[in-house]
A and B are shown apart, each in its own frame.
Chain A
């Protein structure tokens, strides 16, 4: 009886210990944190880095909802992202990684699609955005680039404190920002 109680107490202590807050390492983690390639560089010159092991750092702006098998990392340039795809089940990115800053490591990979697959891919993208799509307009094969990830580290992200009462501003009124152009 006493042994059972001791065992239960050990298990109770073990569970919270496994979920301590802080940096989270996925898969093999990263081999270094010093040198990372800017996401914008990968996007600007994708073919130059194919086959290379690279590390990128950035904000996670998308995560696979079903299996946690990929994340999208934002570039320093507005709207640009790269996908980090990991082997299903080997690394599972949780939903709460969204909005965290990560360093991801892997091999930069080019997947050349045939025309049929290109049409399917473009159709799926158009459907996602709610745009009209005509497969006849797709005449060239495309290449999808992604980081085939071997590991990642999610850096601790501080949650922004709420502003003091006096600092609150509203959208209505004189301090509304001007539109571009």
Chain B
């Protein structure tokens, strides 16, 4: 085995182990975010409709304490962040964490929309989209460099009988042509 291939093997092995965790994070996050128009990849939402005695459409300052008293009667742990009178007939109660309750003041019907972060997936998407910026930008840059090294060193690891003229070369060519053709056909316009 030539010295160059030995170096490639060493690099591929060491960096390969290092990249396992981040590769899984980016791959899973990529899958989830690819279908963001089908589902909310970060949060799960549950909606429950309930009813209270109609509070009426009077002054917000009078109605709000009554609505909150009713809601707290149903849920003593209710953490109210703020309220908003969105119209004559509606009052929205915003809760800590992104949940909210939309109250129809005329009918007394209210919908509680509870929002919860999808465990693990939220954090993976946070990293995948680099939402936090700052330190993660550096981590992501280094990871991108590692993936480039893995891709390049991978070409020279096991040469096979025919080297890059054989099946390996054909597969590599397909892998290169796929994005190039797509870029020319779809993204070129």
Q: Which of A34-42, A141-149, A159-167 lies on the face that meets chain B? A: A159-167
A96 touches B98 (CB 8 A): yes
Q: A128 contacts the other chain (Cβ, under 8 Å)?
A: no
Chain A residues whose C-beta falls within 8 Å of the C-beta of B66 in the assembled complex: 169-171, 175-177
Rank and list the top 6 A-B pairs by shortest CB-CB distance, nearest first.
A99-B94, A95-B98, A99-B81, A177-B62, A177-B58, A96-B98
A160 touches B81 (CB 8 A): yes
Q: B153 contacts the other chain (Cβ, under 8 Å)?
A: no
A79 touches B82 (CB 8 A): no
B80 touches A159 (CB 8 A): yes
Chain A residues whose C-beta falls within 8 Å of the C-beta of B82 in the assembled complex: 59, 99-101, 157
Chain A, Cβ-Cβ closest to B106: A179
**Interface of A with B (CB < 8 Å)?**
14, 18, 59, 61, 63, 65-68, 74, 78-79, 89, 92, 94-101, 157, 159-160, 162-163, 168-172, 175-180
Q: Give the A-B contact count at a CB cut-off of 8 A.
A: 113
Chain A residues whose C-beta falls within 8 Å of the C-beta of B43 in the assembled complex: 65, 95
> How many angstroms from the CA of A78 to the CA of B88 in the assembled complex?
8
CB-CB under 8 A for A163 and B69, given A18-B135, A95-B43, A157-B82: yes
Q: How far is the CB of B110 from chain A (nearest CB, A)?
A: 12
A61 touches B84 (CB 8 A): yes
Q: Which of B23-31, B48-56, B140-148 lies on the face that meets chain A? A: B48-56
Q: B21 contacts the other chain (Cβ, under 8 Å)?
A: no
A177 touches B59 (CB 8 A): yes
Q: How far is the CB of A86 from chain B (nearest CB, A)?
A: 12
Chain A residues whose C-beta falls within 8 Å of the C-beta of B68 in the assembled complex: 160, 163
> How many angstroms from the CA of A179 to the CA of B37 in the assembled complex?
42
Q: How far is the CB of A140 from chain B (nearest CB, A)?
A: 25
Q: How far is the CB of A25 from chain B (nearest CB, A)?
A: 10
Chain B residues whose C-beta falls within 8 Å of the C-beta of A79 in the assembled complex: 85-87
Chain A residues whose C-beta falls within 8 Å of the C-beta of B56 in the assembled complex: 176-179
Q: Which of B3-11, B71-79, B157-165 lies on the face that meets chain A? A: B71-79
CB-CB under 8 A for A169 and B132, given A78-B87, A179-B57: no
CB-CB under 8 A for A97 and B57, given A61-B86, A171-B70, A177-B63: no
Partner of B81, one of A78, A157, A169: A157
Chain A residues whose C-beta falls within 8 Å of the C-beta of B63 in the assembled complex: 177
Which interface residue of A79, A95, A100, A168 has the most chain B CB atoms within 10 A? Answer: A95
A18 touches B58 (CB 8 A): no
> How many angstroms from the CA of A168 to the CA of B81 in the assembled complex?
18
Partner of B40, one of A66, A94, A169: A66
Chain B residues whose C-beta falls within 8 Å of the C-beta of A98 in the assembled complex: 94, 98, 100
> How many angstroms from the CA of A94 to the CA of B43 in the assembled complex?
10
